[in-house]
Structure 1
């Protein structure tokens, strides 16, 4: 992504972002995002309704797929002089190159007026900044290391307890397989496989190893026996997928749990939005675990960035949208459908579901919090390592030693 951006910037360095269709009169805002699943669409409607009720006019540009599909399209538009009013990014370093080129609107004045600093955790307040300036309006806090399971499948397979160790996990998976069901619903896309690997790294490897790998970029940590143990667990899970897993979208995998066809899915809490959309109840119809292993909360999320626009009314629409995004009411309405939790600390979350309450309990303990790789690590490393993890998943002949060697090569070349 960074290479694509820099190439496009070099080719269009003299382009000035002009008045486009997104700069239309009034509080009309074209919002580019990739929230298209059932639960995601329901959440977006809540945000759009709040913006419209505040006097805006939401123009929806939803791009099916994932961020890896939508981001290049949005970046092309921003650099090419035809920007949307606002665009979704993940919290962290994804926005940095656009900010470096002066293509994003700083939100410092608005954040100061509305005291965003007091409303956010220090980690998230830092994560929406680049070189001391705020460029992102955060909408949620996503737990990225959840394990969801179907209560009906567990019952049919004779699994009575939530697995707390990997020995218990593999015993449960064997029972599900023996019952003629799919043990793990996997979407064989690099970002999904990377999410699964990171969940195992944080849970079984522990917070310290995870931090050494993703924050410190330590080659010794990646060569350690503990890291290789994590890699071997990840590789063993190949035996519990089904033949339809390659290129399966994440929400289709979640649907396999909803339909009682599969037992377990490793996925961020956006998957919970699909359960909610299907009228399923947390801790009754489905379960959720931050584990097995250390029960930490991997914090990520979504932000909206606002391209520089020349039209004052379009800029006013951006201000209104950022205000709605950061409002307590907007955050609660959106996250109630999305599966995530509000990023603001001062929102009443008492009515959120049982899984959300588990996440919120973890977030009250700083020792259990850790940032997602998108926040900790340069994007070129995150993307390249994701490709490697996918290659490791689909190459049973690759050993854990070879995997760790190639991981270190990627990091060394990027430094």
Structure 2
């Protein structure tokens, strides 16, 4: 670290003649994210360009994979070398960092921007800890979506979206007969747990979903709902190709875009890949909720801000928080990423039909939070492990699987 500091000093000395006099006062921010796919990188660039336009100095430290980015971030916190900002999911996942004094509040920026007037109360609550705002929200995603290729559906003789699980599996059978890979499956535990959740919502409803995850209910209705969920999840195995294990979500999306596969279960960030490929919703691809779903699971992104001693980095944190919540930036970011803006006062006319469906559900309150927002990181990780183990073990029945599921909350 000392050698690195010496190099910085030497570099600064050599460049002093050409650097502007106010260079040391410029806001700066090293930003760690896992936004590395084409659509994610394009969305992040919207924020970066506006940050630089307002005089900030940006350093990108994106790392592929949410888990890998989280691990790298935590290692840097432990080492006392944190970045200025980190992409973070809102909710309980940040509680330990806040309680250990590792994050800085951005309450002044939030009050100056009147965030309480333009954010849904549920979102404001989830970015606030101990009465202060700590996170700057960027966007929200619906996670209950099934994206499908209009071309492959036509080739298989499918002319309408399936409304029930029985109809859905009939469509998958038709795709298989037509020589199309029915499901583009992302074989990573976090992706599998999102499919589990979207199926669970169809089996227990909004109230039942919240009873299980918030109240930790294990009554008869909850147990039956989890069993039915695992039965449907297990049935999907026969429609997945051998190359699925370990597959990234955007690679699965590419299978649908190219017409190699018929459908993909994924959050609406997958839509950003269709946008990047020049595909149009309603024409080239469709977006439907998981069959029989009464609403959608959602997750929301934000930036968190580790405590910094460098004045330029602290200025950078305030500027980044301000830029991320700019109404124009929020719309442009969501258009690139395939998400929904967090502010309620943005111009919604630019949003596509898929995003408008998501907004309708959010406005009507037909939403439930992703487990990462309402479970501890340990419980959320245990859920990922549970779903992955069940998916990888076709011999396990739903009854024993349900017992393991509810053991997560003991």
- TM score, norm. by length of structure 2: 0.92
Query: Which secondary structure does the structure 1 equivalent of 2:406 belong to?
Result: helix
Instruction: Measure the CA separation in 2 of the matches of 1:361 and 1:48.
Output: 30
Equivalent of 2:375 in 361, 370, 377: 377
Equivalent residue number for residue 58 of structure 2: 58
Q: Is 1:222–1:408's contact at 8 Å kept on the other side of the alignment?
A: no
Equivalent residue number for residue 122 of structure 2: 123
Equivalent residue number for residue 159 of structure 1: 158
Query: Which secondary structure does the structure 1 equivalent of 2:268 belong to?
Result: coil
Post-superposition shift, 1:48? 0.7
Equivalent residue number for residue 10 of structure 1: none
Q: Is 1:222–1:407's contact at 8 Å kept on the other side of the alignment?
A: no
| Mapping for residues 125-140 of structure 1, pairs under 5 Å | 125-140=124-139
| Mapping for residues 3-402 of structure 1, pairs under 5 Å | 26-64=26-64, 66-220=65-219, 224-366=223-365, 368-402=366-400
Q: Is 2:136–2:303's contact at 8 Å kept on the other side of the alignment?
A: yes
Runs of at least 5 residues in structure 1 that lack an aligned partner in the other structure:
1-17
- Cα deviation, 1:14-33, whole Å, max 9, x if unaligned, reads xxxx9x98x97521211100
Query: Which secondary structure does the structure 2 equivalent of 1:246 belong to?
Result: coil
Bigger radius of gyration among the two: 2
Instruction: Measure the CA separation in 2 of the matches of 1:83 and 1:379.
Output: 20
Q: Is 2:197–2:297's contact at 8 Å kept on the other side of the alignment?
A: no
Equivalent residue number for residue 16 of structure 2: none
Instruction: Measure the CA separation in 1 of the matches of 2:34 and 2:297.
Output: 21
* 2:408 paired with 1:410: yes
- Cα deviation, 1:298-353, whole Å, max 9, x if unaligned, reads 22111100111112221111101100001101111111100001011111111111
Q: Bigger CA drift: 54-63 or 203-212?
A: 203-212
Q: Bigger CA drift: 169-178 or 210-219?
A: 210-219
- Cα deviation, 1:56-112, whole Å, max 9, x if unaligned, reads 122111101x21111010111123111111111112222111111101001122211
Query: Which secondary structure does the structure 2 equivalent of 1:62 belong to?
Result: coil
Instruction: Measure the CA separation in 2 of the matches of 1:33 and 1:146.
Output: 24
Equivalent residue number for residue 7 of structure 1: none
Post-superposition shift, 1:243? 0.4
Instruction: Measure the CA separation in 1 of the matches of 2:192 and 2:368.
Output: 19
Post-superposition shift, 1:409? 1.7
Instruction: Measure the CA separation in 1 of the matches of 2:203 and 2:274.
Output: 26
Q: Bigger CA drift: 129-138 or 174-183?
A: 129-138
Instruction: Measure the CA separation in 2 of the matches of 1:373 and 1:221.
Output: 21
Instruction: Measure the CA separation in 1 of the matches of 2:244 and 2:38.
Output: 20
Query: Which secondary structure does the structure 1 equivalent of 2:104 belong to?
Result: coil
Report the count of equivalent residues. Answer: 391
Instruction: Measure the CA separation in 2 of the matches of 1:25 and 1:398.
Output: 61
- TM score, norm. by length of structure 1: 0.91
Post-superposition shift, 1:203? 2.3
Runs of at least 5 residues in structure 2 that lack an aligned partner in the other structure:
9-22
Query: Which secondary structure does the structure 2 equivalent of 1:397 belong to?
Result: coil
Post-superposition shift, 1:405? 0.6
Instruction: Measure the CA separation in 2 of the matches of 1:129 and 1:364.
Output: 21
